[in-house]
Structure formats: C-alpha cells, structure tokens
Amino acid sequence: MRSDRVRLIISLALLVAAIVAMLWPGGRPAQGLDKLFSRIKLGLDLSGGVRLEYKVEVEKSSENSVSVVDDVWTVLRNRLDSAGYTEAVIRKSFRETNSFIEVEIPDATDTTQAEKLVGSTGLLWFGQAIDERTYDPTTNPDDVNLAVRENAQWYPSKDGSDWYLVKKEVNNRKDLVLSGPRITQAMPVLDQQGVANYVVSFTLDKAFVDIFKNITKELYVPEQVLNSGTTQYQAALKKRLAIILDDKVQFVGFVVSPIEDGKGQIRGNFTFDEAKELAAILRSGALPARLVKTNAQLISPLLGQDVIMQCLYAGLIGTAMVMVYMLAFYGIMGLVADIGIIYALVLIFGFMAGTGSILTLPGIAGIIFTIGTLVDGNVIVNERIKEEIRAGKTTKTAIELSFSRSFWTLFDSNLTTIIAALALYYFGTGTIKGFAITTIVGIFAAMFMNLVFSKVLLDAISGAIRVKRIGGAQK
C-alpha cells in the first residue's frame, strides 16, 4: 500500500511539474490551447529564425586556411549546442579567395542577440582594474596619457555605461598574466547574494589553477580594509579583479579571499538566457579567426504551413487510431493505456518547455515513434495480466505478477532504443539531434508510464477488469 502511494505521489508531482513548465510565463504569444505549447521552441522548418553570414579573416601567416575555417566551424557548433541551439545549421563556403561561415539559428527573432552568441571571439582574460570612468576616457587626453603611464588600457563595461582602466600584468608582474584560459565547466546559476538574477559559475582547467590562485592572492583585500577609512579604501580600488571577454569588462570586484580551486563567478545582472549564452561562449573557447559580418536577416519557415498541418494531422490521426484500437481490444485496460499515452505526451512536452529544447519536424516524428513504444509496453503488461487471471490468479495478484515479470523485458527493449538514440545524438548534428532528443525523452516517459503510472491506474480499477476465459466465460 505504501509503495502504491509513493507511485501516485511521484506520478502527480511529475504531471504538475510538466504542466507548470508548459504554462510558465515567457513563451510566444498564444491563445487557447496553444498556450500549452508556447514555451516550446520551434525549429527552422516550423517557425523560421535568423540567418547570419560571416567572412572568416584568416591570418596570412596561416599555412592551412581550410583547417582554420574547420576549427571556426567546430567552435561555433560547440557554442550553439551548449546554448541549446542543437538544431542550428552551420555551413562553410569558399568563394574566390575568401572563406565564409553561414549560420541559421531556429526560433530566434532578434539578429542582434544571435550575433552576440555567434560573432563573439570568446577571448577571455583576467586583469587588474586600477581606475574607472563614467564617460568615454579614450576621447580625453589626460585619461589617454594615464593609460600610457600605467601600461594599461581602457575597456568599456558590457553595457557601455562605465569604463575601466585594466592592466594585463597584475601589479606589473610578467608572471601574473592570464589570457585565454581553458574553461572546463561554465553554467548559469541563481545569484546566492539574494539578487533575483543569474551569475555564470566557471571552473578553470587545472593547468591554469595555480596562476589564477597567485593572481587572487596578489589582489586579495581583507574585508576590514574595505570597511575602513577612505584612504585605505581608495588604495583598494586599484586592486580589483577584472574579467574581460571580447574587449568588454564582464566583471570588476574585490577579492576578499584567495581562490585556490580555480572556481569563480561572473556577475552582471544577467538574465537566464544571457547567462546561458555567456556560459556557452566560455565552454566553447575562443574563435581561431576573426569573423566579419556580411549579412544578417530573419528567415521564414522552411516548410509551408500546409505541409506542417498535414504532418500534424497525420500524427494526430495515427495517435487516435492507436488509442481506439487499444480501447476496443483491451477494454478498461485499453483505457488505462490511452490515459497513459496522454500522460506521457504531457511529460515530453513539459520537458521540452522546461529545458528550452527545440522541436522540429523530425522531432515530431520522434514523438510519434514514441507512441508505438508506449503501446508496446502496455500490450506486454496487459497480455501478461490476462494470462495470470486465466491461470486462476486474482486480479490484484495478476497485476503484481505482470509488472514484476515484465519489468526486465520492458527495460531491456527500451534500453537498446535509448542506446541507439544516444549514438544518433552524439554523432549527429542539427535535425538528427532533434530526433534523438525527443526519442530519448519519449522512451524515458514511456518507461515511467508503463512501469509506474499504469500500475497506479490498474490497481485503482482492478475491480472493473474482466478477462474472457478460453471457453468464452469472463472472470
């Protein structure tokens, strides 16, 4: 009895979480039932997006320009995948003596935002901020001379409201220069200082941990100094850590304790999307060449509305036919299977809405494919229940035996499908990954529905289950 209650609580909790994810504010404008799917991002084939074209400026000293373009493609692919744009399309082209990269990002409505992700060179470095201005100091001769005397350079903040004088050599020490470090981990997390925005938490590769530790030790300012008199505080202002990405200051702050594990955070009043994109840039690393934008435009859906509607109707009709068949052939147990199909679909769409996964036509095909897996599991369980009841078991006992004896059959069959889908995701790109994602999520939803949710429903309606004996009588 207790295990049944746990299954029921877990099933309801997942259902509520999925519905909340689908109804959470922030999706596309929609009316009626469309609101349930407004937070699910659509691919280029369904909703269009943004097309960007860049000229790849390869240095003349480079021996193999084609290899450089390949490296640019790889960095951009990793960057877009890390940001959740697994369906984005990246093409290389060579015209006359020039090399170009064309990027198509689905479900994007702002070319400027897309350019921040793709056009960023991704060059990250750490320095020492020794002064700041609220105006552009590069137009003021005194500020320009100050930069020359201090062997430093003025850099704007990421929003351009402030400027900071930053030195690459911390305290003029040539051994304390950290430029272009490898980032092994970067992710958006909620600010733990009680602020309702996101920060980017990052971890440096172990090869850069020691120099980062030495830099933070050199810039360390005790908290009592920060809370002391004006003179000491003014001196401390010249010992702030600055984090610069693409020649823009992402963070400036005091080091109140040396960082010995190579872990840090970048604060900047980021939204979740901004923090996610910055984390993607940090993880993917710097571009090996400069990109010059040659074109940016919004593009229409690749498929016509008629084609999209025909595919959706085909999926709905196929699902309806399967549900009618299950109801006609298995009666009350078929009704449980039909409810389970709807339940699993809600979980799938809830997952996609909550994680920002992109849905394309191949992804829809993956969801429809999952429906077959859902029904397959129900058929195995229902047939086993019928066999046990015909063998003289009570309905409750038949249900328990059916699930216990069908578990490994369902687990093994689904596991092999998941392995194949993981291979598609790992080796595939673009729409292939979209198909793999919906298939993997669908299989997990199918397993949970077959082994947990269906058992809750079958236990609840066990008294209404009737099975025909071989001779025709019911039991």
| CA neighbor of 44 nearest in space, from 104, 103, 3 | 104
3-state secondary structure of 104: strand
pTM of the model: 0.66
Cα 113 from Cα 421, distance rounded (Å): 31
What is 69-93 written as a DSSP string? HHHHHHHHHHHHHHTT-TT-EEEEE
What is the extent of the structural domain holding 345? 2-42+303-464
Q: What is the DSSP string of 277-299?
A: HHHHHHHH---SSEEEEEEEEEE
**Per-residue pLDDT at 229:** 67
Is residue 55 within 8 A of residue 398, CB to CB? The reply is no
In terms of domains, do 13 and 82 share one? no
Is residue 153 within 8 Å of residue 146, measured between CB atoms?
no
Looking at the fold, whether 333 and 459 belong to one and the same domain comes out as: yes
Residue 411 and residue 263 in one domain: no
Strands 263-270 and 198-204, sheet pairing = antiparallel
pLDDT for position 13: 92
- Whether 294 maps to a domain, the answer reads no
Give me the pLDDT at residue 157, please.
92
**Cβ(104)–Cβ(43) below 8 Å:** no
Per-run averaged pLDDT (10 residues), the chain, 475 residues: 80 91 76 72 81 86 78 87 80 86 84 81 90 94 95 92 94 92 89 77 93 93 78 85 90 88 85 84 83 87 71 81 88 90 90 82 81 82 87 86 86 86 80 81 88 88 75 51
Identify whether residues 308 and 457 lie together within a single domain. Answer: yes
pLDDT at site 57: 85
User: Rounded distance, CA 312 to CA 106, Å?
Assistant: 19
- Does 316 share its domain with 409? yes
Find all residues with CB under 8 Å of 138, minimum gap 6, and list them.
144, 154, 163
Overall domain count for the chain? 3
Task: Give CA–CA dist 442/446, Å, rounded.
Answer: 6
- 111 lies in the same domain as 150: no
Residue that is last in its domain, among 233, 257, 285: 285
What letter does residue 359 receive in the DSSP assignment? E
In a domain, 170, yes or no: yes
**Look-up of token digits 């997952």:** 351
- Residues 210 and 130 reside in one and the same domain: yes
Residues 322 and 456 in one domain: yes
Judgement on whether residues 96 and 81 belong to the same structural domain of the protein:
yes
Q: Are residues 329 and 398 in the same domain?
A: yes
- Cα 346 from chain centroid (whole Å): 20
Residue 33 confidence (pLDDT): 65
DSSP string covering 161-196, please? S-EEEEESSGGG-TT--EES--EEEEEEEE-TTS-S
